């Protein structure tokens, strides 16, 4: 089952306690596509500038990712610069939309049968334009960040209404809901439209909250809400570069889900574990380096570690 993804394909400048890189391949759609490509066919919609190198495009194509939907425009590629004082929070130092500022996404004819749509982090106006061109899609999942929550609130709420799954991090969830308690924030966000909400907690894993018509596994409830599901993250001795961990989580999660014959609560829970696995690999090297070298065997071996990490013998 093919996934169509729209989102940033970019160059990043990154500073972490482990070192500094002035410019490397990045972007939400880039990390997402690389992670999802281990599970299923991936097609990308984005725009890049004249500075985008053939070598960087081949990072995607060499993993079998279809880049026919990446438009090459006059001007410079999206550029983001950030630093980390702790591994769970990026501090944005610079965001240059460049060619994304005037972008109007057009779907190549051969993309129209994609059954899974991922609206990776980018202007929600662009996310909505792609969504509108995919009326028959089976499952729509989306991401966003503080930059868009603050600058494009109305457009973002429009996107949220059409989502099956929203994946955001702790801080973004609290900002979006204007609420400091995560459970209350989740309830408010589910009222905005997404059927399921996944909140990422950086090095501490991720939690899914379920609304009506969602992937909730049973009728179990805690208080007045459906019982959430929590997936772990692997405790790592060194995080070299957290950039892209969230997008890689989303790619592992959605890629696995799209590869399954049926969308069930059980496949949803496995998908959350695969998300954690891909996120844990992404942070081991700067930029997309680790994802470029990864193998499916390594992914499955780590998935088994994740299972053992949380296994409980029957009482
Ligand atoms: P994350 O997975 O959250 O660490 O996402 C990191 C990626 O998001 C980087 O490679 C950036 O290029 C990209 N990014 C940063 N800011 C934005 C933004 N405002 N819109 C879209 N993508 C962004």
Q: What is the pLDDT along the chain (315 residues), one digit of tens a residue?
A: 999 999 999 999 999 999 999 999 999 999 999 999 999 999 999 999 999 999 999 999 999 999 999 999 999 999 999 999 888 889 999 999 999 999 999 999 999 999 999 999 999 999 999 999 998 899 999 999 999 999 999 999 999 999 999 999 999 999 999 999 999 999 999 999 999 999 999 989 999 999 977 787 667 787 778 899 999 999 998 899 999 999 999 999 999 999 999 999 999 999 999 999 999 999 999 999 999 999 999 999 999 999 999 888 887
Two tokens at 208? 């899914």
What's the predicted TM-score (pTM) here?
Answer: 0.97
Residue 224 Cα to ligand 1 midpoint, Å, equals 35
Two tokens at 288? 């997309």
Which atom number of ligand 1 is nearest to the Cα of residue 250?
2
Evaluate the CA torsion angle 56, 58, 62, 63 in order and state its sign: positive
Question: Whole-angstrom Cα distance, residue 292 to residue 63?
Answer: 8
Q: Ligand 1: which of 5, 11, 80 to mutate, judged by most atoms within 8 Å of the beta carbon?
A: 80
pLDDT score at 307: 93
pLDDT score at 218: 67
Q: What are phi and psi of 46, to 5 degrees?
A: -165, 180
Q: Ligand 1: residues within 6 Å at CB? A: 8, 10, 12, 26-28, 31, 80, 90, 95, 121-122, 145, 147, 243-247
Residues sharing a CB contact under 8 Å with residue 206, sequence separation 6 or more, in sequence order? 198, 199, 200, 230, 231, 233, 249, 272, 275, 276
H/E stretch holding 184: helix 182-191
Which atom number of ligand 1 is nearest to the Cα of residue 282?
2
Q: Ligand 1: which of 142, 145, 166, 288 to mutate, judged by most atoms within 8 Å of the beta carbon?
A: 145
Nearest CA to ligand 1 atom 18: 122
Question: Whole-angstrom Cα distance, residue 123 to residue 152?
Answer: 8
Q: What are phi and psi of 152, to 5 degrees?
A: -140, 45
Q: Compute the half-sphere exposure of residue 200: CA atoms within 13 Å on the CB side of its CA.
A: 30
Which atom number of ligand 1 is nearest to the Cα of residue 143?
3
pLDDT score at 221: 82
Two tokens at 163? 């989502």
Question: Whole-angstrom Cα distance, residue 195 to residue 173?
Answer: 15
**8 Å CB contact between 37 and 65:** yes
Nearest CA to ligand 1 atom 3: 246
Four-point Cα dihedral 182, 280, 36, 189, nearest 10: 0
């Amino acid at each position: 089952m093919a996934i169509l993804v729209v989102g940033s394909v970019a160059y990043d400048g990154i500073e972490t306690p482990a070192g500094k890189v002035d410019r490397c391949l990045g972007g939400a759609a880039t990390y997402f596509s690389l992670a999802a490509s281990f599970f299923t066919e991936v097609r990308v919609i984005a725009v890049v500038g004249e500075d985008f190198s053939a070598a960087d495009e081949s990072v995607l194509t060499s993993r079998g990712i279809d880049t026919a939907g990446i438009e090459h425009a006059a001007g410079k590629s999206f550029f983001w610069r950030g630093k980390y004082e702790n591994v769970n929070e990026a501090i944005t130092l610079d965001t240059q939309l460049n060619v994304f500022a005037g972008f109007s996404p057009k779907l190549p004819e051969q993309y129209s049968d994609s059954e899974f749509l991922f609206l990776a982090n980018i202007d929600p106006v662009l996310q909505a334009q792609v969504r509108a061109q995919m009326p028959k899609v089976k499952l729509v999942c989306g991401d966003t960040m503080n930059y868009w929550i603050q600058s494009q609130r109305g457009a973002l709420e429009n996107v949220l209404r059409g989502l099956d799954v929203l994946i955001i991090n702790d801080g973004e969830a609290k900002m979006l809901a204007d609420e400091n308690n995560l459970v209350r924030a989740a309830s408010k966000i589910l009222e905005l439209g997404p059927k399921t909400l996944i909140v990422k907690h950086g090095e501490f894993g991720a939690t899914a909250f379920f609304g009506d018509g969602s992937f909730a596994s049973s009728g179990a409830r805690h208080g007045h809400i459906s019982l959430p599901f929590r997936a772990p993250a692997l405790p790592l001795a060194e995080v070299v570069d957290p950039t892209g961990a969230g997008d890689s989580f989303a790619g592992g999660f959605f890629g696995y889900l799209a590869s399954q014959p049926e969308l069930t609560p059980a496949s949803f829970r496995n998908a959350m574990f695969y998300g954690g696995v891909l996120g844990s690999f992404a942070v081991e090297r700067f930029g997309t380096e680790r994802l470029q070298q990864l193998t499916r065997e390594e992914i499955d071996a780590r998935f088994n570690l994740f299972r053992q990490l949380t296994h409980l013998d029957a009482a």
